[in-house]
Amino acid sequence: MTTATPGLLDAHLTLLAEALLPYRSSEQLLARWGTELAATLAGGGRLLVAGNGGSAAEAQHLTAELVGKLRDDRRPLSAIALHAETSALTAIGNDYGYDEVFARQVRAHGRRDDVLLLMSTSGASANLLAAARAGREAGLRCWAFTGPAPNPLADACHEVLAIASPESQVVQELHLVSTHVLCEYVDRALPAALAVTAAAAAAPVGEPTAPVRTGVEVVLDGERRVEAG
């Protein structure tokens, strides 16, 4: 009796299972990123995302979830997939070279404290590295989804979610999971973030955030005191 050799699906699932155990430690990072991103978007900031190939598709998936919705209806959130701007992409590539196709758009659209999220299985794409440099120079917070770290993109960004798998397909699959979990955390944190933004907008300009004690400063026997007024 012959034993059947493992099929492609079984082999692939084995690689995925091996990556899942270390991936579970990403929960805290995704929760914090979701809270920070919700605050940024609620305050009128923007998310810029970019990737190449399959990572471009995943980046565009993320922006679709934010501009549209993940589950429940809510206000649209500002998120742009830079690779989807095809006319700008090809014009910049033609005039400045492919390494600049994202960086120039980051300089155009990014504002201080916006978030730039760059996706790459290798973490070595020159155009994403250029985008990270441009983002940091412009004061954006730069995050990355990559494959195994260390890698150049992880080093170029402020923070990274690195998937510990040598298989690029597995890396992309867990990047997709990360996209969905990140959006879940954004949606969870958004109501509180919007409330904070609304309260700040409603407060009169220059109004103190805490009661101010008034009085007259006097000196008695060398001791300085404030007498209530």
Q: Per-residue pLDDT tens for 65-124?
A: 999 999 999 999 999 999 999 999 999 999 999 999 999 999 999 999 999 999 999 999
- Least confident stretch, 84-93, 162-171, 212-221: 212-221
Q: Per-residue pLDDT tens for 115-141?
A: 999 999 999 999 999 999 999 999 999
Torsion angle of C-alpha atoms 47, 52, 58, 64, degrees rounded to 10:
50
Q: Per-residue pLDDT tens for 9-53?
A: 999 999 999 999 999 999 999 999 999 999 999 999 999 999 999
Distance, CA of 132 to CA of 60 (rounded, Å)? 18
Q: Per-residue pLDDT tens for 175-201?
A: 999 999 999 999 999 999 999 999 988
pLDDT-based confidence at 206, cuts 50/70/90? Answer: low
- Tell me which long-range contacts 6-14 makes (C-beta under 8 A, separation of at least 24): 12/169, 12/170
